[in-house]
Amino acid sequence: MLHGRVTERAAIGELVAAARAGAGQALVLRGEPGVGKSALLDLAAAGSAPMRVLRATGTEPETGLAFGALHQLLRSEAGLLDLLPGPQRDAVRGALGLASSGTDDRFLVSAGVLSLLAEAAVPDGLLCLIDDFQWIDQASADALLFAARRLRTEGVGMLIAVRGDAGAHLRGVPDLRLTGLDSRSAAELLASRSAVPPAQEVGDRLVALTGGNPLALREVAGLLTPDQLAGRTPLPDPLPVGAGIGQIFGDQVERLPEAGRLIALIAAVEGLGDLGLILRAAGRLGVDPAELHPVEAAGLVGVEGASIRFRHPLVRSAVYARSSSVQRRLVHTALAELLDGAEDADRRAWHRAAASVGQDEGVAAELAASAERARARGGYADAAVALARSADLTPDRAVRARRLTDAATAAWLGGRPGQAETCLAGARELAREPLLVAELTQLRGRFELNGGDAAEAQRVFLEGADRVCGADPGRALEMLADASEAASYVGDVAAIVDIGRRAEALPRGDDSFLRAMLIGIGAMLAGDARRGGQTLRRALLRADELSGASELLWASAAASYLGEVDVAAGFGVRAGRAARVSGLVGQLPVVLEFVSTAERINGRLGISAAIAEEGLTLAREAGYTNSAAAHLANLAAVAAVRGQEDACREYAQEALAIAIPHRIGLRAGTASYALGLLDLGMGRFAAAHARFSALTTAGPGAGHPTVVWRSTPDRVEAAVACGDHDAARATVASLEQWSVNAGTPASRALLARCRALLEDGERAVPLYEEALRLHAEGGPAPFEQARTALLYGERLRRTHRTGEARQPLRSALEAFQRLGAEPWAERAHSELRAAGESAARPGPAALNVLTPQELRIARLVAEGASNRDVAARLFLSPRTVEYHLYKVYPKLGITTRTELARLVGAGPEFGDAGGAAPG
């Protein structure tokens, strides 16, 4: 019987009711051992009918077995796998060991788990109960938390019980902390468990001594005499709870006969409660299976059918703690010998490792093979643990270094940067072989670039390239490319120029695309625009052959340095598509940095924000701190265009708080640019001019030349509005120099607009008209085109051509309204009224009423993707996609996919990206 817990009962009741009604929720129950977490899970299960209930419990012996807890939870639902999108179905099958191979992408496995839970919730809802989460293997924990953070409409309730402050990675899931029982509830519990009802003062004393812990109260009540309970004799001092409640169980274990303690130890080490295996192991160690009876009679375990279960996890801990190391190794050895099937290879490897004394290559190799199986299914964190233990057992120095290197890589991909750094440091101490040293250097640089100091990453890569260039030019080129990427993040122009020269000096193999990128970009930044431009142009002639996300991002950078922002954006969008359907999905947060920027540059603000929010969530879950800064900076820029002042400042400050100390000049520059753009849109021209001017003087780590170049049209407009015509002319001159290789209409349109701003009166009109013609020729770039139309209309009105001014002003107003660019729309509306048109502002575009998630789904559906395809690409369940579509249709006033495609295709959020790639 459960006593008290009114608040906890209510919270669990709300979660169960919500799931039964079709909504999804997750809740963490957190508290010390014995406080009643498991009892609350049992209460939830008892009150959940007619919902389906799935349960899993973490156990210490299974902590290192990738997807062990997931198999425990979902094995009964394997028949539903065919309802999942193909990539998700295959990923989950591999993770559960139902297929010979799976995927090495943990995001895809996690999305598949979410979809499977959604299917299992039909028709009456689903309740998932996970106990002792602190012992769940990392692969299962990552997948379950991915799902828990995204439960919205799936009809799934998830209760997670975790001990104390364990499970720091549970952030993002609501938390309910359990404390001891109140005095009244504790008195009721004591009365139900004691030989005689305790006197009030005794009950109060017991509550004070146990902190109201229900398990401690139950156990102590059974140990006290009637006289002690009645207060006629004093309570024992100290109360028999020792160093925690485990002392009580430890004493009970000590009272067992020796053979009974050994059987209890076998059960504790085995961990899963497989009664048959436990008894076979007992027989192998010469113990009569009948010796289990005293253990059961003592109430320490319960036997149900073919399973055995400890009364409480602390019983198992006490059994293990009261045994000797020799006994434990004997039990591990016996279990390993009995687990001889292929399906038990991972458990056998861990038991053999636990039984080992000293180093043993055979055992180490088994653990390494287990790690490889975990890694192939996306269980990187568990693979890292297995590889690190394998390295401990490895006698050969070189092999140990190799395994620690692999452990570092797996830990990083598993979102465990601290463990990755530890393994990397161990490998570096051991490594002697030059190519392995180079690989370790490259890993160190990648870790630093993703989550640390970008300038330090640049230094590490360059040092590594120097060390390996003679022995392995190919590896040297890769490391130079990494160094160039790091220098680009920092904004270190001199380093990028130097890297280009180093790449050119490497022995010429084939003139690779990557080598051409480094040489061309370096030449451009060195001031040799003609040579650099020709090199990049030749390399981009192969653009149609590019398919990998990494190559497409380099192509995007090349187009950017050529001054063709529209082409660069197109390559960025293509890179995002490639990442979603390739093995790079695990690096998706990084790729989405460039995709969200590309969509913003293309004027698709809603899509840009939606992708940035997705990328920010994934970056935080993966531990990619620097990637999070990129997404925050882009969200700040989108908010600036929309006039969302508070959001812009909040995003920008968060981005700068990461970017400045990590010396990521590209992201620091974008965040600062966003604040300047906000000022410009709100009409605070002097503040905008000051911010944009500061960008031009910000050094490496605080600013970036690409941000300076891309902000040039904004700087010109702010300078002119402030009357600083000298600064405006100098800025236009720099844009002319940068754009010398630009061949797209969009880039020429911006240059024409900037030149028009410098002209007086009527002389500006032909330049504005030329800019608008180029905008139209270049394809959709709605925000920049609308800004040109606004400036053109303003100039016409100021030269007293008010009738002619109305059409471009009306066009600008409508475009800004569609984009949700509120301050710009207000400015256009004010100009239109000043031109004599009194019409009210049009309402917001239909697409602007969609949430970011709805917008992403609508775009993919409009492109012809099925619900399953959308789910696979956005890491959702098909039922979630269906739910959002049911909301999208009435919001847009449509009823069919055909109408959606027509509406989406006509909107600026979804047009072609222009240039080399579709949007």
Each residue of 588-603: pLDDT tens digit?
888 889 889 888 888 8
Q: At what angle do helices 878-892 and 852-862 cross, to 10 degrees?
A: 90
Residue that is last in its domain, among 844, 868, 887: 844
> Does 338 have pLDDT greater than 50?
yes
> Does 787 have pLDDT greater than 70?
yes
Burial class for 76, CB neighbours closer than 10 Å (0-12, 13-18, 19+): exposed
> Does 818 have pLDDT greater than 80?
yes
Q: Does 312 share its domain with 452?
A: no
Establish if 232 belongs to a structural domain: yes
Q: Radius of gyration over alpha carbons of the chain, in Å?
A: 32
**Pairing mode, if any, of strands 175-177 and 25-31?**
parallel
Q: Does 153 share its domain with 187?
A: no
Q: Does 267 share its domain with 126?
A: no
Nearest partner of 218 among 246, 250, 186, 242, judged by Cα = 186
Q: Does 229 share its domain with 349?
A: no
Confidence of residue 842 (pLDDT cuts 50, 70, 90): low
Of the listed ranges 565-569, 647-651, 744-748, the one predicted with least confidence: 565-569
> Does 912 have pLDDT greater than 70?
no
Establish if 658 belongs to a structural domain: no
Q: Does 231 share its domain with 372?
A: no
Confidence of residue 696 (pLDDT cuts 50, 70, 90): very high
- 596 or 237, higher pLDDT: 596
> Does 790 have pLDDT greater than 90?
yes
Establish if 589 belongs to a structural domain: no
Three-state DSSP class for residue 127: strand
Residue 565 near residue 775 (C-beta atoms within 8 A): no
Confidence of residue 777 (pLDDT cuts 50, 70, 90): confident
29: CATH: 3.40.50
Q: Does 384 share its domain with 457?
A: no
858: CATH: 1.10.10.10
The mean pLDDT value of the chain amounts to 87
**Pairing mode, if any, of strands 301-304 and 307-310?**
antiparallel
Residue 544, Cβ neighbours under 10 Å: how many? 9
524: CATH: 1.25.40
Residue 104 near residue 32 (C-beta atoms within 8 A): no
Residue that is last in its domain, among 828, 844, 860: 844
Establish if 596 belongs to a structural domain: no
* C-alpha to C-alpha distance for 250 and 241, rounded to whole angstroms: 10
From the centroid of its chain, how far is CA 418? 17
Nearest partner of 189 among 11, 35, 7, judged by Cα = 35
Establish if 556 belongs to a structural domain: no
> Does 510 have pLDDT greater than 70?
no
Q: Does 341 share its domain with 407?
A: yes
Residues 59-96 pLDDT 10s: 887 788 889 899 999 989 999 999 988 888 888 988 88
Establish if 840 belongs to a structural domain: yes
Burial class for 227, CB neighbours closer than 10 Å (0-12, 13-18, 19+): exposed
Residue type, 748: R
- 486 φ, ψ to 5°? -65, -45
Q: Does 818 share its domain with 860?
A: no
* C-alpha to C-alpha distance for 520 and 508, rounded to whole angstroms: 15
Q: Which residues are CB-contacts of 169 (< 8 A; sequence separation ≥ 6)? A: 141, 145
Average pLDDT over residues 784-795: 94
Domain containing 766: what range? 711-779
Structure token digits, residue 281:
């192991």
Q: Does 277 share its domain with 411?
A: yes
Establish if 607 belongs to a structural domain: no
**Pairing mode, if any, of strands 301-304 and 175-177?**
unpaired
* C-alpha to C-alpha distance for 428 and 709, rounded to whole angstroms: 41
- 170 φ, ψ to 5°? -80, 5
Confidence of residue 581 (pLDDT cuts 50, 70, 90): low
Q: Does 312 share its domain with 415?
A: yes
* C-alpha to C-alpha distance for 444 and 409, rounded to whole angstroms: 10
| Cα→Cα distances 96→61, 77, 257, 369, 870, Å | 18, 11, 40, 17, 24
Confidence of residue 572 (pLDDT cuts 50, 70, 90): confident
Residue that is last in its domain, among 758, 779, 800: 779
Provide the whole-model pTM.
Answer: 0.80
Q: Does 351 share its domain with 411?
A: yes
* C-alpha to C-alpha distance for 875 and 858, rounded to whole angstroms: 15
- 449 or 169, higher pLDDT: 449
Q: Which residues are CB-contacts of 715 (< 8 A; sequence separation ≥ 6)? A: 689, 692, 693, 695, 696, 727, 728, 731
DSSP lists the bridge partners of residue 52 as 126
Angle at 848 between CA 843 and CA 851, to 5 degrees: 145
Q: Which residues are CB-contacts of 439 (< 8 A; sequence separation ≥ 6)? A: 405
DSSP secondary structure letter of residue 431: -
Q: Does 172 share its domain with 191?
A: no
Establish if 566 belongs to a structural domain: no
Average pLDDT over residues 649-653: 97
Q: Please give the tally of structural domains in the chain.
A: 7
